[in-house]
Amino acid sequence: MHALFRGISVIPVLTIERERDAVPLAHALFEGGLSVIEITLRTAAAPGAIAAIMRELPQVTIGAGTVMRAADIAIAVHAGARFLVSPGLTPELASAALATELPYLPGVATPSEVMTARALGICVMKLFPAEALGGTAWLKAMAPVFPGVAFCPTGGIDEASAAEYLALPNVPMVGGSWMAPKDAIAAGDWRRVRRLAERAAAIGRREAA
């Protein structure tokens, strides 16, 4: 997991409605400096989108998000996903995800869920929905209680708030969709996506410095 996400501060979280958008969208994000992408399994086009990007753009690391059942994990693995992300955590889901030996970010929202994930040997978790749960205040409160645990907040994060999250010592990366607006994808405005990706990547570099 550390090798996969080393140097990564911003992860686009994408819901792709049309499979034909997948490769040009991923290419625009990659050209903008974002090389790790999460595609949520919320649409019928998602598995094909993951497979297409893996085939056409091997330099882009693709993960599957909104993984909620063992069947979702099988679909993600078959499509070629290189990491798994879920909105929550159940024993059955965690067992199936960890059995793949792919990096797995379970969603957590409470201290009890953090403890459950840590007991499974997981030290990097997804905080979801971050803004609704209290955002940076929640993360600051958790830092002294759970040393060594890192969080990737997603849910309600935008360009303005991303830097606030990345400034926290227990937040190495954030996830969001602001750099890939739905209207830009629908219009095939890949230049706009690239510009937004460049700005998002710059946030990560600035915080890393």
Considering 17, 38, 113, 182, which one is annotated as catalytic? 38
Considering 17, 92, 101, 126, which one is annotated as catalytic? 126
140 counts as catalytic: no
Q: Rounded to an integer, what distance in angstroms lies between the CA atom of residue 86 and that of residue 102?
A: 13
Tokens of 101: 């030996």
**β-bridge partners, 40:** 65
Q: Rounded to an integer, what distance in angstroms lies between the CA atom of residue 10 and that of residue 203?
A: 8
What is the helix (H) or strand (E) element at residue 99, kind and residue range?
A: helix 91-99
113 counts as catalytic: no
Nearest alpha-carbon partner for 70 in 87, 39, 103, 93: 93
| DSSP 8-state class, residue 20 | G
For residue 137, CA distances in Å to 64, 104, 168, 197, 204 come to: 28, 25, 10, 27, 20
Q: Answer yes or no: are the C-beta atoms of 125 and 154 closer than 8 Å.
A: no
Q: Which residues are catalytic?
A: 38, 126
